[in-house]
Amino acid sequence: MIVLLNSLWLQTFVMLCETGHFTRTAQRLNMTQPGVSQHLRKLEGEIGASLIAKEGKRFLLTPAGEAVLAFAQRLQEEEGKLLSSIAVDDPNSGEVTIACSGSVALLLYPRLLSLMADAPDLVIRLEAAPQMRVLEGVIGGSFNFGIVDHPPIHPRLLGEQVGTDELCLVLPAELAGDLNFAELQELGFIGHPDGFAYAEELFAANFRSEFGGAEQLRLRSFINQIGQIPEPVAQGIGYTILPRSGVDPHPKRAMLRCASLPNPVRHSLYLIERKAVVRAARMMRVAEVVKQTLSSGPSGGLAAI
């Protein structure tokens, strides 16, 4: 059987041990002396043993009393630590978890690294994941925040639009001028897990008469590592379609060119989190960096390019 000791009785007992006197204990705790004696008797009843042995007007602790005093003091110390940790909500300490697409992660991670460099006790976990995994993780509590390209409809989620990300037709910089669809087919498509869905959106908006569906694209290569997708394009091997967040941070950005299209396609970016979650200071700080990064972008504004 588990016995939960009354914290008020323990507090009275600790004060009694500190003062060594029933009357002074009553004064300190704003109680009557019989009230102090009653707390002691009740605590002894719960323990099942005497806690003090009277010696004239003084008393000595029994072995059980010494054990209960040590326990009560440890409990008070732990409670003090707990209250201190709650009172001090440090924006530079603790862990924050975020999930987003690989392209957004490329844009976001350098800023998060800078934040962690300034806050050695801040731990940020950033996971690149498909949008379904992002949504499920935020709903289930695996992630504090997620970044998706549509407003959340789940009743447990809140979403705030924090920027937009343009789909880019990415060409080798060495190719002058914009290519028509036949020339793109000749160059060849660098595929990736989201590439065909991006092609459906971008080509349907800009090459409607020539484009017959992503399955008709001439595939030149396929790769699923977001940081490597622009590499063959930089080498002139093909073209690809990526969000600008996955293009601008690339080390060989100077060897890439985003084609100018008559009908740009942009995705809104939403920062999502669970409803009814009180943000800790560290979460608010990280969320602010995320919003600043996605609203401005590496080249002066994702929404404006």
Task: Evaluate whether 220 touches 189 at the Cβ level (below 8 Å).
Answer: yes
* Neighbour-count burial of 242, counting CB atoms closer than 10 A to its CB (0-12 exposed, 13-18 middle, 19+ buried): buried
pLDDT of 200: 95
**% of the chain exceeding 90 in pLDDT:** 65
Q: Which residue has the higher pLDDT, 89 or 287?
A: 287
Is the pLDDT at 298 greater than 60? The verdict is no
**% of the chain exceeding 70 in pLDDT:** 95
CATH pick for 7-87 out of 3.10.129.10, 3.40.50.2000, 1.10.10.10, 2.60.40.10: 1.10.10.10
Give the list of residues 6+ apart from residue 56 with CB closer than 8 angstroms, or none: none
Backbone angles phi, psi at 94, to 5 degrees: 110, -170
pLDDT of 279: 87
Mean pLDDT along residues 283-294: 94
Is the pLDDT at 187 greater than 90? The verdict is yes
CB-hemisphere CA count at 13 Å for 119?
21
Is the pLDDT at 259 greater than 80? The verdict is yes
CATH pick for 93-165+266-304 out of 2.40.128.110, 3.40.190.10, 3.40.50.920, 3.40.50.720: 3.40.190.10
pLDDT of 65: 87
3-state secondary structure of 136: helix
Q: How confident is the model at residue 243 (pLDDT cuts 50, 70, 90)?
A: very high
CATH 3.40.190.10 occupies which residues in the chain? 93-165+266-304, 167-258
The DSSP bridge partners found for residue 256 are: 172
Whether this prediction's pTM lies above 0.75 is answered by no
159-173 pLDDT per residue, tens: 999 999 999 999 999
pLDDT of 296: 79
29-87 pLDDT per residue, tens: 999 999 988 998 998 888 889 999 987 778 899 999 899 999 999 988 888 877 776 66
Cα 38 to Cα 36: distance, rounded to the nearest angstrom = 5
CATH 1.10.10.10 occupies which residues in the chain? 7-87
Task: Find, among 41, 11, 35, 39, the residue nearest to 23 by Cα.
Answer: 35
CATH T-level assignment (fold) for domain 167-258: D-Maltodextrin-Binding Protein; domain 2 (3.40.190)
Mean pLDDT along residues 202-212: 94
2-25 pLDDT per residue, tens: 557 888 999 999 998 998 889 898
pLDDT of 89: 79
pLDDT of 111: 93
Q: Report the mean per-residue pLDDT for the chain.
A: 89
Q: How confident is the model at residue 144 (pLDDT cuts 50, 70, 90)?
A: very high
